[in-house]
Amino acid sequence: MLLPEELETEIQTMVREAEHVEEKLIDIIYLLQNHFGCFSDVALGHASRLTGKTTVELEELCTFYDFIYRRPVGRFVIHVCDGVACWMHHENSLFQYLCDKLGVGVGEVTEDGLFTVLPTACLGNCHNAPAMLINGKHYGRLTPKKVDEIIDELRENADNIIQCLCR
Ligand code: FES
């Protein structure tokens, strides 16, 4: 599957202007991820072709970063903080609450294609624990009631929100 000319040119320019291609790899991966909806095998192949890095080298990056999705995800990717401060402020697992509410396991996509729930390391929002991040937006001081309201609002406005805001 070919890339749109504009995206191909943008990535070629990034590679050409970089002193070391490694400094641009994450940005390139996010561009491809946003185009394909996840960093699929096809996207991985394009990244390898355009950067000269092997697929193994790129896989190593993918396994390190929580925000690179190697499998399809929902329109809203809910990163629930798995850090100590958040656990201390939520004795019942917020992660499990979301999975039960949405009827999915870790990394799965809801039947309507809207949601994926993933655990993630500290989001740097400890003072608002427990916290989560959805498509780049922070939510904190969460309670089940607040989570319900957030999910309802996302469902209602699903058509207006861009997928995978990871950059
Ligand atoms: S531990 Fe959850 S935001 Fe830091």
The residue to mutate among 78, 80, 86, having the most atoms of ligand 1 within 8 angstroms of its beta carbon, is 86
Average pLDDT, the chain: 92
State percent of the chain over pLDDT 90. 87
Domain that holds residue 14: 5-64
Angle between helices 55-64 and 25-36 (to 10 degrees): 90
- Whole-model pTM: value is 0.87
Question: Which strand (E) or helix (H) includes residue 118?
Answer: strand 115-120
Give the residue from 64, 87, 105 where a domain finishes: 64
What CATH number is given to the structural domain containing 104? Answer: 3.40.30.10
Helix (H) or strand (E) run with residue 133 in it: strand 132-134
85 plus 118 within the same structural domain: yes
In the block, residue with structure tokens 């809203």: 76
Considering its fold, how many domains does the chain have in total? 2
- The string of pLDDT tens digits covering residues 2-52 is 999 999 999 999 999 999 999 999 999 999 999 999 999 999 999 999 999
Out of 20, 37, 64, a domain closes at 64
Residue with the smallest CA separation from ligand 1 atom 1 is 83
